[in-house]
Amino acid sequence: MPERKPPAGEVDPEFAFDPLDTSRTKDSEWLAHVRRGRAVCRPSPGVVYTSRYAETQETFRDPRRFSSLGDMRAPGVVVPEHERFLGEVDAPLHPRIRRILQPHFTRRGADAAEPWTRASVLRRLQALASRGSGDLIQSLAIPLPGSVSAHVLGIPESAHDQVMAWCDELLHSSWPTTGRTERGDGIAECFPELAAALDALIAEREAAGPEAPDDLLRAMVQTRTEDGWRIDPRHVRTLCVNILSGSLSASYMLGNLLYRYLDDAEFAASIRRDPSLIPAAVEESLRFESPVTFLLRTVRQDTQLGGCPVRHGEHVMMGIASANRDESVFEHAGEFRLDRELPFEHLAFGSGPHLCVGNHLTRMVGKVVLEETLEEFEPGELRLVEGYRWECVAHVHEYGPETLDVQVRR
Ligand code: HEM
């Protein structure tokens, strides 16, 4: 029977939900229900939701019809260009910046950061082992990815914790949605200490010329295009904050992987028996428990998506978590499996021009954390504490455990 397409503007009563209601947007049963019924539905006025792979990918890949501009901001808030994260920037500026960042975010770049990452993971695991207990989220999953990104940027290790603490404060302030806080407008007024620390590093790279270290900061500060254009130094500062705070999604992936290691004895035994399965485990975790559950786009022109009319100015909620369990694309989509042939194209990192720049770095971090955990702890030595209860982080989009309280029994 052909699927009924909802007329433009009409909310689907059977598939209605509040986009901010995480009891819906993070509920795999509910998402499966939507996916079975509609490729695209209208859950609330002015919003359409893509539940399947094809339409989610189509939205990601078509910035002409679906714009990223302003989607992390509250309605009506417009921030200056130099205050925008990369995900909020459209062409022609977006590809120009992306070309400068890209060489530092290749697989080879991730491989180069691996020894540093391994040493950092080992240090954190050994510290946990000597304490005998702790929360793996706070001691490893949260600080590690930001620290790896700070390392790639070229921020000295002694400043990583402080810079990440400021970024965390920024992310939990009103700045992401409004561009301001009670301290003023923009990053420089809202977070003067963070801005000063980053501006000092930017000035250093500028002053050092060819003597500057070959890091991402240098590339952002010194690269000039043929027509003399360069990234506005204030935008370099915002992009540093973007890269550092973007790393938090990797924290949720680490939480998901570590929880599986601690909770699923068969999984732990499989990767211990055959560590070459670890990259597949990382990939499958990204698909099956996508750390970013959905993202938004604004419709630029009246169009249609999966047969559903959508109007200029409406929002598309790209259902990443649902699309990644689309049974027409992934066999046994509702099962976590280690036997999927790599590479398989999940949408956890998005797709198209805004594909996550941190994807190779994230895969490397996931692999190293599992490898070092296996190396440091004998089977059964690292355990969830008695009575541990899994609870999801309270963020609207993000999926992963809030805490992972463990004990080390040697
Ligand atoms: C599990 C880990 C991660 C997930 C699931 C994730 C997810 C995503 C997704 C879905 C996008 C696409 C945004 C869009 O289309 O609007 C994105 C973009 C981005 N991510 Fe990640 N990310 C992760 C890790 C990282 C890391 C470690 C970094 C920093 C190195 C990072 C930095 C960025 C940046 C700067 C963008 C914007 C790219 C652009 O607009 O061109 N992400 N990420």
Q: pLDDT digit of tens for each residue in the chain (410 aa)?
A: 455 555 556 888 999 999 999 999 999 999 999 999 999 999 999 999 999 999 999 999 999 999 988 677 887 888 999 999 999 888 899 999 999 999 999 999 999 999 999 999 999 999 999 999 999 999 999 999 999 999 999 999 999 999 999 998 998 899 999 999 999 999 999 999 999 999 999 999 999 999 999 999 999 999 999 999 999 999 999 999 999 999 989 999 999 999 999 999 999 999 999 999 999 999 999 999 999 999 999 999 999 999 899 999 999 999 999 999 999 999 999 999 999 999 989 999 999 999 999 999 999 999 999 999 999 999 999 999 999 999 999 989 999 999 999 999 98
CATH superfamily of 13-408: Cytochrome P450 (1.10.630.10)
- CA-proximal residue: ligand 1, atom 9 (nearest): 349
User: Quick check: helix, strand or coil at residue 310?
Assistant: strand
pLDDT at 4: 55
Task: Say if ligand 1 is within 6 A of residue 243 CB.
Answer: yes
Closest CA to 369 of 356, 382, 385: 382
Task: Say if ligand 1 is within 6 A of residue 279 CB.
Answer: no
Task: Say if ligand 1 is within 6 A of residue 40 CB.
Answer: no
DSSP at 129: H
DSSP at 398: B
- CA-proximal residue: ligand 1, atom 36 (nearest): 356
CA–centroid distance, 249 to ligand 1, in Å, is 8
What does the block give as tokens for 132?
Answer: 């005998």
Q: How are strands ordered across the β-sheet holding 133-135?
A: 133-135, 405-408, 382-384
The full length of the chain comes to 410
Among 106, 216, 231, 249, the mutation site with the greatest number of ligand 1 atoms within 8 A of its Cβ is 249
pLDDT at 1: 45
CA–centroid distance, 129 to ligand 1, in Å, is 32
